[in-house]
Structure 1
Amino acid sequence: MTVAPQTDSQLSRRLQKDSITISGKVVYINPFLYWRRFDNNTDRWLREPGQLGEEQIHLNRARFYPEVDWTFLKDEERIIKDAAVEMFLKTLELIGTFHPDLNAGQLLEVERKMAITKKRSFERWVEKSFRKKINLASRERNRFARERFVRGWQEWLTLDTTHQAFLPFAAIIVMSIFGGWSIGISNNSCTPYFPTSETSILK
C-alpha cells in the first residue's frame, strides 16, 4: 500500500527538477521530455554534440558557467563543459519553440533554474554521449581491420605468384606424406613372423 505513494512522491520530486511553473503553466527544462513532439532530425540535432558553431558556444560560456575560469580547465573538462553549454542553448531553443508565449523575463527565469538544476545533468549526458561515440568508433575500427585482414589474405591467395609458390610447397608436403607412408609399409613388411611354438623355443 505504501509503494504507490512513494513512487508518486519520487516522480513529483523528479518533475520539480525537470520543470518550472510560470503563470500556472508547466514548462519542462529537461529537453528529453519533449521527445514525443520531436521528428527524427530534431532528435538527432539534440542528442549529437557539435551541432552548434564553436563561436556561438564560446560566446555563451560565461552565461551558463560564470564561476568557471576556462583558461585553467583541462582539455577534457573544457570539451565537456562546451558540450553542456550547447545543451543549454538547444534546450532554450526548444522551449522557445514549444512555448512561444513566454516573454523575455519568463525565459530568463527558465534559464536561471536550468543553470542551477541541470548543469550537472547535462554534463553527465554529454559524457555518456562521448563515451558511446568513442566505443562505436573503436568497434568500427576493429571491424574495418578484420575485414582488411581477410581481404588481404583473399587477394594474396588469388595471385598467380602465390599459386606458383604454393604448388611446389604443396607437392613437397604430399611427397613427404607419401614417403612416410611407404616407409611405414616397408617396415611392417620386413618384420619377421614366428609361430607361437618357435617363439617359446627361442625364449
Structure 2
Amino acid sequence: MTCHSPIVVALTLAIAAGASSCISASDQSHMVVDPQQCDGPLGSPAQLQTPVGASEGPSIDAPAQCYESSSGMDRGAYIRIHGHGTRRLVMGSANRDRACVPPASASPDVCPEVLADAVGQMIFGMLQERGIQVNGIGAGVCAQREAMRSQDVNDWNFSVGIMNWKDADTAIAIVDEVLRNLGIGDSFGISVRGIDCNSVPL
C-alpha cells in the first residue's frame, strides 16, 4: 500500500481537477471589497517581517513593487520564495502529460516536474483555510507581457495573490512549506495586490 502525505494528496486532486490559473470576474464579485483595493493591496510593505535572503527559514527576494498599471490586480508587489529541492515547476499547457506528483519520500529522480498551477491551487486552499483573502493564481504582479509568451514560471512571476500586507508572512511560510515538502527547487511567488475594480461592483 502506498501512503501519501496530505500535501501530496491535495496536489493529486488539484492536477486531476485541471487547476485553473486565473480568477474570474464572477469569483471576484463575491469578495469583500475596500475601494482602496482598486489602487493596490491593503496595508503597507512595512508589515512584512520575513527577512530577505535568510539562511534559515523561508528564503525570499526583496519585494518587487509595481504600480504603473491601471488595474489594481497589477498594482502591488511580487515576492519570490526560493525552493530548496531538485524538482522543477512547469507550466501546464506544454507539460501536463509528463508532469506528476512525487510520492511521499520519493527519490529526487521520481517526478522531476510538477505543475505550477496545481501547486498554486494547493497553496490557494491552504491560505483560505487560514482565513486569508486570496486573489488569483498565475501571472504575478510585475510580470512583463512579452516575457509571459514563454513557458517559464519565473517569466510569469507565477504566484498566488493575496490582498493585504498583514497576511504576507503567513503566505510566505505556507509557500515555503509546500516547496520543501515537495522537494521543489524552483521559486514560487506571492503577489500582494489589489483588485480589478472594473470586474467587481463596489
TM-score w.r.t. structure 2 length?
0.25
Greater Rg by CA: 1
TM-score w.r.t. structure 1 length?
0.25
Q: Which has the higher relative contact order, 1 or 2, with Cα contacts under 8 A spaced 6 or more apart?
A: 2
Q: Which has the higher helix share?
A: 1
